[in-house]
């Protein structure tokens, strides 16, 4: 019985250590960030994506064939929010549009995507480099 408790305790410590190590690795790695936009009925109208692979780029995609497009922008926070790079647009053509915008500083950033139809529907997603 004594050996059984020691083995159980060792396995518990090993499992907790492995989980802590894997959890730490997941936090440290950067990943792509998505910002999905839906209309009032929950239908997808578009999305914006931060492609974190160097050099950074942003993809914007109009996913609703409704005659309207989507517009997006990237912002950095340094006491106030300021736009970084050009305004991104998509709609009226096949596929999505991708634009390089280099993200180099360890500040807070956000992506905003808006539907160009009536109702001023927008969604914002924060992300970090």
Q: Where are the domains of the chain?
A: 1-29, 33-128
Handedness of CA 25, 28, 31, 33 (dihedral sign): positive
Higher pLDDT, 41 or 61: 61
Beta strands at 70-77 and 57-62: parallel, antiparallel or unpaired: unpaired
Residue 22 is predicted with a pLDDT of 34
Q: What is the CATH number that goes with domain 33-128? A: 2.60.40
Answer whether residue 27 shows pLDDT above 80: no
Residue 114 is predicted with a pLDDT of 97
């Amino acid at each position: 019985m004594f050996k059984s408790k020691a083995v159980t305790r060792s396995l518990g410590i090993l499992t907790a250590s492995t989980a802590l190590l894997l959890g730490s690795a997941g936090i440290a790695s950067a990943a792509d960030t998505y910002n999905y936009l839906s209309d009032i009925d929950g239908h997808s109208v578009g999305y914006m994506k931060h492609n974190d692979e160097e050099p950074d780029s942003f993809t914007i995609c109009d996913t609703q064939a409704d005659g309207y497009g989507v517009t997006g922008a990237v912002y950095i926070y340094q006491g106030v929010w300021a736009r970084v790079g050009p305004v991104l647009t998509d709609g009226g053509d096949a596929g999505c549009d991708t634009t390089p915008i280099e993200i180099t500083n360890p500040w807070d950033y956000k992506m905003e995507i808006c539907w160009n139809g009536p109702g001023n529907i927008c969604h914002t997603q924060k992300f970090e480099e």
